[in-house]
Amino acid sequence: MDAQAVKFTTVNEYLAIFPPATRKMLKDLRAAIKKAAPDAEEVISYNMPAYKLKGVLVYFAGYKNHIGFYPTGSAVTAFAKEIKAYKSSKGTVQLPIDEKLPIALITRMVKFRVKENLEKMR
């Protein structure tokens, strides 16, 4: 099923359309985000899972060959050396579905975003 053809209302609906191996990676990514930002609100935004705490923290999305992790441009810049092994752009890191997720890196990036959002509120 094409994720773009469906309007999702929950993250569980979103995850359900993916093949089992990809779904497991997405669930693992989701768990890492929730653990790193336990107070964040889980929503669907731009038809993909997103996490908000005093503004958007991160998004993620599944694709045929990768998981798109969207920690915003500031996190991509701050972690540029650590994400060199992955395709990336201004606000995106592409995590290949045939490789293990870098959970420790994802955790640090999410915590960076939490801190950044909370500091903006001061």
Please count the other Cβ atoms lying within 10 Å of the Cβ belonging to residue 19: 10
Rounded distance between C-alpha atoms, residue 8 and residue 14, angstroms: 6
- Write out the H or E segment, with its range, that includes residue 95: strand 92-96
Partner residues linked to 59 by β-bridges: 50, 70
Q: Sign of torsion, CA 66 69 72 73? A: negative
Partner residues linked to 69 by β-bridges: 60, 93
Contact 73, 43 (CB under 8 A): no
The SS3 assignment for 94 reads: strand
pLDDT band at 1 (very low <50, low <70, confident <90, very high): very low
Rounded distance between C-alpha atoms, residue 81 and residue 9, angstroms: 35
* The pLDDT of residue 69: 98
Predicted confidence (pLDDT) per residue in 25-47, tens digit: 999 999 999 999 999 999 999 99
Domains of the chain: 3-112 (3.90.1150.200)
Measured CA to CA in angstroms, residue 36 lies from 13, 27, 81, 105 at distances of 23, 14, 21, 11
Predicted confidence (pLDDT) per residue in 5-26, tens digit: 789 999 999 999 999 999 999 9
Above 70 in pLDDT, residue 3? no
